[in-house]
Chain A
Amino acid sequence: DSGVTQTPKHLITATGQRVTLRCSPRSGDLSVYWYQQSLDQGLQFLIQYYNGEERAKGNILERFSAQQFPDLHSELNLSSLELGDSALYFCASSVSGGGATDTQYFGPGTRLTVL
């Protein structure tokens, strides 16, 4: 158990809908990261938040957004869902916002199925 929690574990929804994925980082970690794992794209970095502010951005679609709250938990919002958004979404956390020794620890993931 990494100490990173994600809810829900599974989510099934329809095209065009909007969903919210939630992540709680390990105690003491200030950074939260979101990754998407799909069959065709593999594991891809989406976005990083550090202490409430966006820190780094990867291949995140405009239909997707994230935020980190004062208690450091994070939410990933996915809107206007398409079939291709079906994937496993991982959250990770780390102690700081960067640096060589800042290791990311991953949660169990949320499996999103868009029908």
Chain B
Amino acid sequence: AQSVTQPDIHITVSEGASLELRCNYSYGATPYLFWYVQSPGQGLQLLLKYFSGDTLVQGIKGFEAEFKRSQSSFNLRKPSVHWSDAAEYFCAVGLYNNAGNMLTFGGGTRLMVKP
């Protein structure tokens, strides 16, 4: 069965600093990978997704992620964090087959931004 691990439960960065959120997955086939963000009291917003092709994926709000098959990782990065980026971030792997779809989520990383 597929699984996703986000090793960091909490991360605090200063505004303007760079950010990297870690995500490791376990999946037997080519993974379909996603990053979602959940702001306080809000739903999940899709930041970016990887299906195939270029391993560096650009998303919304200046985020990018890099798929590294050899490390089973899909880390999320941003060069300069803004206070509005404070939220919880979820990495997910998608299982697609003829039976349907399901997303398996990691435990989330809560990002705090210091002024």
Let me know if B96 and A100 touch, CB within 8 A. yes
A residues in contact with B97, CB < 8 Å: 98
Q: Which of A33, A43, A98, A108 contacts B105 (CB 8 A)?
A: A43
Across the interface, do A2 and B45 meet the contact criterion of CB distance under 8 Å? yes
Number of B residues contacting the other chain (C-beta, 8 Å)? 25
Chain B min CB distance to A108 (Å): 4
Query: Is the CB–CB distance between A2 and B43 below 8 Å?
Result: yes
Out of B32, B34, B45, which one reaches A100, CB within 8 Å? B32
Query: What does the 1/0 interface line of A50-66 toward B look like (CB < 8 Å)?
Result: 10000110100000000
Contact B42 A108 (CB under 8 A): yes
Contacts of A105 in B (CB 8 A): 46
Is the beta-carbon distance between A45 and B43 smaller than 8 angstroms? no
Please tell me if the beta carbons of B100 and A56 are within 8 angstroms of each other in the complex: yes
What is the total number of residues of chain A having a CB less than 8 Å from a CB of chain B?
A: 30
Bound-state CA distance A35–B107 (Å) is 14
Q: Is the CB of A98 within 8 A of B98?
A: yes
- Convert B86-97 into 0s and 1s, putting 1 for each residue whose CB lies closer than 8 angstroms to a CB of A: 000010000011
In this complex, which of B42, B90, B103, B107 has the most chain A Cβ atoms within 10 angstroms of its Cβ? B103
Task: Tell me if A45 and B99 are in contact (CB < 8 A).
Answer: no
Q: Is the CB of B103 within 8 A of A108?
A: no
B17 within 8 A of A: no
- Known pairs A2-B43, A99-B96, A105-B46; A42 contacts B51 (CB<8 A): no
Cβ of B40 to closest chain A Cβ, rounded Å? 12
Contact of A58 with B102 in the complex, beta carbons under 8 Å:
yes
13 more CB-based (< 8 A) A-B contacts, given A42-B108, A50-B100, A98-B96: A4-B43, A45-B104, A55-B101, A56-B99, A90-B43, A94-B101, A98-B97, A100-B96, A103-B46, A103-B49, A106-B44, A106-B45, A109-B43
